[in-house]
Structure 1
Amino acid sequence: MDINTRMVLERGLRLFGSSRSGAEDFERTVALYVAHPEIPHYLENLVGDVVKIRSIADIHKAFELDIKRGFGKTVLDWEK
């Protein structure tokens, strides 16, 4: 199901959900990373941009970058 995240942000909605993964999946993933420490390095290739979030304008910037990027994830680095 597609969600228009721009509209969610504009309206100030809160979304709640759960992932399809549970504790068992997490434990197997950690074991895999321990057995193959090179895997997290390969996953870094999936990150297209890291945007520091200090304001609403930064959030808009991050989403615009994400829309323009054909591949990769945009990480929002929330500062306190």
Structure 2
Amino acid sequence: MPRSSNSPDWVRDRRRRIGDQIRAARLHANLTQEAVANMCQMERPGYNRIEQGHQSPTLDTLILIADAIGVPLAHLVR
């Protein structure tokens, strides 16, 4: 996983926007962070770091999150 501190500002900004889109989709689906994290077989603090834009998820993790929330992957990374 790339270290976020070495990423250019525009990448960190984009990662935060993706986290915002994940959070909005999760809330629209009326799911908690804990529920999504459990469905993705990950710890809630790690999931929270993704939503906050502090951690870069792998593509596999994004696919799992999209499936857990019930949205197309493209919806999360627009």
TM-score category, normalised to shorter length: under 0.3
Task: Decide which structure has greater helix share.
Answer: 2
Taking structure 1 as the reference length, the TM-score comes to 0.26
Which protein has the larger Cα radius of gyration, Structure 1 or Structure 2?
Answer: 1
Q: Which of the two has greater strand per residue?
A: 1
TM-score by length of structure 2 reads 0.26
